[in-house]
Amino acid sequence: MKRITLNNICSLVTDGTHDSPKILVNGMPLIKGKDISSGTINFDNCDYISYEDYIDVIKRVKPKKDDVLFANIGSVGDVARVSNSTDFAIKNVALFRPDPKKIDIDYFYYFIKSNSFKAGLLNYQSGSAQPYITLDVFRKYRFYLSEDISIQKKIASIICPYDDLITTNRRRIQLLEESARLLFREWFVFFRFPRLRQGFGGQAGHQKACPVESINSTGVKIVDGVPEGWKKEHLSKLVTTQYGYTETASQEEIGPKFLRGTDINKTSYIDWASVPYCPNEKLDFRKYSLSRGDILIIRMADPGKVGIVEVEIEAIFASYLVRLKVINKSISSYYFIHYWVINTRDS
């Protein structure tokens, strides 16, 4: 094992454009930190720029196959590996190009992705409102790494099958979630659902258990925009709202978990293992503690993204989030979160 820097094992350590090219509806993809998650680059919701701006931006750096991207502004710490598709530009993203003569390519990716690499590095991030890591920090940051490439290859060969399995399962989860959203939209947005023989009961999403028979949407009587027997309700009667706590997160276990916007803006679930901690010296834990069923919505930087607490855990939430706590027993947290996702997507 030897203590080295990225400059020792990479042919290039740089970052994307610092300019702000005009965003278009279509064009060449501009990948930012928000588009990197779980080791992959998400092109589905990325920004686009003109071909002319793209040519200008890639003069700084053009991503190549096997480059490793590291979100260094905003969603700090998210990592992805560039596959065969390299016709895109980057912004608010650092790029590491490993030298295959000095390090195994697969091993390098898994190492950069690991907590052992990121834990110490994230302690050097600057900025409270918009955290970031400078290129100077990346280039000078020192870490321990095995120099034996044969050992590196063996380690990578063990990790790779598990990583592929995780990726496959994530894709299955995405497909199941999309199916759930489509069903929810059919039933609770378009009101095309099986009709209850005994009629509808209560408010939206709260129906009496009874036998059903399927009919098309023309068989459902709609009154004032909602099915007969339902009613519209003001949000303030369904949930309470609260801003989160302002503090700098830490990778050290010095307090409760500290949920931030960057922890819920990429996936529909919260990966608590990757959530950092919050110093508890001045913390009013009772005021900001999270409970199972709490809904968190990002209010700044990436507004509208939503997450839900599904486990009992000692955690609080950051000031860029708004906590919604359901107070009306006729609606569940899951009903609300699906309704929110469907309506914010369609708006």
Is residue 323 scored above 90 in pLDDT?
A: yes
Is residue 202 scored above 50 in pLDDT?
A: no
pLDDT per position as a tens digit, 276-314: 899 888 899 999 999 999 999 998 877 888 999 999 999
Non-local CB neighbours of 63 within 8 Å, separated by 6+ positions: 69, 82, 86, 88, 89, 90, 95
Mean pLDDT of the chain: 83
The owner of tokens 């200008």 is 56
Residue 346 in tokens: 């369609």
Q: Which domains does the chain have, with CATH numbers?
A: 2-146 (3.90.220.20), 192-232 (no CATH), 235-346 (3.90.220.20)
Non-local CB neighbours of 111 within 8 Å, separated by 6+ positions: 117, 145
pLDDT per position as a tens digit, 236-267: 899 999 999 999 888 888 899 999 988 887 77
Nearest to 46 by CA among 24, 31, 58: 31
Phi, psi of 237 (to 5 degrees): -90, -5
Lowest mean pLDDT among 39-48, 165-174, 290-299, 305-314: 165-174
pLDDT for 339: 80
Confidence at 129, pLDDT banded by 50, 70, 90: low
pLDDT for 126: 81
Pairing of strands 239-243, 257-259: unpaired
Is residue 75 scored above 60 in pLDDT?
A: yes
pLDDT for 176: 81
pLDDT per position as a tens digit, 135-155: 999 999 998 888 888 999 999
Nearest to 82 by CA among 100, 60, 98: 98
Q: Which is more confident, 199 or 292? A: 292
Is residue 218 scored above 50 in pLDDT?
A: no
pLDDT for 228: 72
pLDDT for 175: 79
Q: Which is more confident, 275 or 146? A: 275
Lowest mean pLDDT among 9-23, 46-60, 178-192, 213-227: 213-227
Q: Count CA atoms closer than 13 A to 178's CA, side-chain side.
A: 6
Confidence at 68, pLDDT banded by 50, 70, 90: very high
Q: Work out the average pLDDT over 58-87.
A: 90
